[in-house]
Structure 1
Amino acid sequence: MKKYIYFVLVAMLFVSCATSMSTGLTREKNYPKMYTDKPLTILVMPPINKTVNVEAKEYFYTSMMIPLCEKGYYVISPFLAMDLLKSESAYDSELFMNANLSSFNKVFGADVALFTVINTWSKSTLGNVITVDIEYILKSTTSNEILFNRKGKLSVDTGVNSGGNGGLLGVLVDMAASAINTALTDKVIAARRCNNYVLHDLPDGRYAPMFDKDQNVSAGGIEFSGTVAQ
Structure 2
Amino acid sequence: MSRILSLKLWLAVSVLALLSACAQPVKHVDYTAFKNARPRTILVLPPDNSTTDVTASDSMLSQMTFPLAEAGYYVIPVAVMEETFKQNGLTTPADIQKTSPEKLREIFGADAAVYATITQYGTKYRVLDSATVVTASAKLVDLKSGDVLWQGSASANSNEGNNNSGGGLIGMLVMAAIKQVANSLTDKSHDIAGVTSYRLLHAGPPTGLLYGPHSPKFGTD
TM-score interval (norm. to shorter): 0.7 to 0.9
Name 2:31's counterpart in structure 1.
31
Matched, 1:147 2:138: no
With 42-51 and 169-178 compared, the bigger mean Cα shift is at 169-178
- Residue in structure 1 matching 2:214, options 200, 207, 223: 207
Instruction: After the TM superposition, list the runs of 4 or more consecutive aligned residues in structure 1 that deviate by more than 4 angstroms.
Output: 10-16, 96-99, 158-162, 165-177
Q: CA 1:116 to 1:168, structure 2 compared with 1: closer, same or farther past 3 Å?
A: closer
CA contact (8 A) 2:48 2:93 kept: yes
- 2:133 is aligned, of 131, 134, 142, to 131
Aligned counterparts, 1:53-202, within 5 A: 53-95=53-95, 97=97, 100-125=100-125, 127-151=129-153, 154-158=155-159, 178-183=179-184, 184-200=186-202, 201-202=208-209
**1:118-152 Cα shifts (integer Å, max 9, x gaps):** 12324124533122332211111110111111135
CA shift, 1:99, in A, is 5.5
Deviation at 1:32, TM superposition (A): 2.6
TM-score when scaled to structure 2? 0.74
User: Structure 1 CA distance, aligned partners of 2:69 and 2:177?
Assistant: 38
Structure 1 vs Structure 2 CA RMSD: 3.3
Aligned partners of 1:116 and 1:137 also within 8 Å: yes
Q: 2:156–2:193: 8 Å Cα contact kept in structure 1?
A: no
Q: In 2, distance between residues paired with 1:160 and 1:173? A: 19
**Residues 135 and 151 in structure 1, CA contact (< 8 A), matched pair in contact too:** yes
* CA shift for structure 1 position 169: 9.5
User: Take 2:178 and 2:96, find their aligned partners in 1: how far apart are those partners?
Assistant: 44
Q: What amino acid is aligned across from residue 205 of structure 1 in structure 2?
A: G
The answer to whether the 8 Å contact 1:42/1:73 transfers is yes
Gaps (5+ residues) in structure 1? 1-9, 215-230
Matches of 2:162 and 2:175, distance apart in 1: 6
The letter for the 1-side match of 2:103 is: S
Distance 1:168 1:14, change over 3 A: closer
How many matched pairs? 198
Q: Answer yes or no: is the 8 Å Cα contact 1:93–1:115 preserved in 2.
A: no
Aligned residue type for 1:204? Y
1:7 match: none
Matched letter for residue 65 of structure 1: T
- The secondary structure found in structure 1 opposite 2:153 is strand
Q: Aligned partner of 1:202: which letter? A: L
Structure 1 distance, partners of 2:119, 2:162, is 30
Distance in structure 1 (CA, Å) of the matches to 2:136 and 2:16:
37
Output the CA distance in 2 between the equivalents of 1:88 and 1:98.
13
In the aligned structure 2, how far is the partner of 1:175 from the partner of 1:78? Answer: 36
CA distance in 2 between counterparts of 1:185 and 1:135 reads 21
Identity of aligned residues (%): 26
> Does the Cα contact within 8 Å between 1:104 and 1:141 map onto a contact in 2?
yes
CA distance in 2, matches of 1:40, 1:118: 25
Q: Per-residue CA shift, 1:3-22, capped at 9, x if unaligned?
A: xxxxxxx89976863x45xx
Supply the distance in 2 between the matched residues of 1:193 and 1:84 (Cα, whole angstroms): 28
**Change beyond 3 A, Cα 1:140–1:92:** farther
| 124-133 or 43-52, which deviates more | 124-133
Cα deviation for residue 167 of structure 1 reads: 8.2
